[in-house]
Structure 1
């Protein structure tokens, strides 16, 4: 499970995002590094957890617009980190938790919300929109759809009505008779 493999729930990937990883024209983000807390309150860039974690994520126009506004306010280019401290270093998760995450979740009336809850929300939105386990697995950086199903299967809707509808739709189009007419 995500929370067992990565205690930071993706913050390391987010804080490792560099301006060059954002393709505004194609509306995508390349995830190919993470940063983790290092000794003495430092932040250390490093590789991702596994090969499936390396991915390009399509992002909506809303995300592109927010990133553009953020970078207009906090100017950066190339290999500069998108989310950084005053010294230009990537955010440290403790700093983020105290200065950004706690105030945001308190203001939203969700004081107990975790970063993992955001990941779960993202997965549930994709599932609710009808995306396949393969697509959800790819977006979350899971090694295979079976892992995604183990974690999120409870979010897929019951398919009883959809399977009934599929068969009804086929039969309503006209189905040849199962038995030819006798005497024809």
Structure 2
């Protein structure tokens, strides 16, 4: 969905790329509970441009009054940024002013969070690139390389995982005396 001067229209995601992203079981469970509490709402909007053919889609997230689609800017200003203020991540705006318009403080930060979680877990950069809709994994590396764990951290984590759940026997002088 995108915002035009004339209003909202349905459209493909950024750069017209459809993405297939795995849905973890825990997220699916939370999404199912959300859908039980807030059933999907049918919303009809034009396709691609304000004078485009009308298309009806069932949206999982709608305005609180149930009257239509949530605009990204509304979510940023009314939900996301107040949550960041409550968490002490960003300062509250001065009375009568809006939150600072910073990309790293908006919903785009969720994209970076997703990428950082997958990179930290060791996900393949080529796969992550496809999830993010990048046509070039090199671009993904250039943008997100600062989020990758250091080699030292990866090495420590790999060895820790190897020995996870083991109870190492003492290897001091007592061990040698028992043999």
Confirm or deny a common fold (TM above 0.5): yes
TM-score range, shorter chain: 0.5 to 0.7
- Matched with 2:123 is 131
Partner SS, residue 9 of structure 2: strand
- The verdict on how the C-alpha distance between 1:84 and 1:102 changes in structure 2, with shifts beyond 3 A counting, is same
Q: Separation in 2 of the partners of 1:141 and 1:132?
A: 14
For the 8 Å contact 1:123–1:136, the answer to whether it is kept is yes
Runs of 4+ in 1 over 6 A off after TM superposition: none
Q: Separation in 1 of the partners of 2:72 and 2:139?
A: 27
For the 8 Å contact 1:142–1:148, the answer to whether it is kept is yes
For the 8 Å contact 2:41–2:62, the answer to whether it is kept is no
Which ranges in structure 2 are unaligned for 5 or more consecutive residues? 43-56, 92-104, 159-179
Taking only aligned residues, the RMSD between alpha carbons, in angstroms, comes to 2.6
Matched, 1:54 2:18: yes
TM-score relative to the length of structure 1: 0.59
- Matched with 1:71 is 35
Which ranges in structure 1 are unaligned for 5 or more consecutive residues? 1-34, 166-184
Q: Separation in 2 of the partners of 1:153 and 1:94?
A: 28
- Matched with 2:87 is 108
For the 8 Å contact 2:126–2:137, the answer to whether it is kept is yes
How many residues are matched? 128
Describe the superposition over 1:8-34 as per-residue Cα deviations: whole angstroms up to 9, x where unpaired.
xxxxxxxxxxxxxxxxxxxxxxxxxxx
TM-score relative to the length of structure 2: 0.61
- Matched with 1:176 is none
- The verdict on how the C-alpha distance between 1:49 and 1:117 changes in structure 2, with shifts beyond 3 A counting, is closer
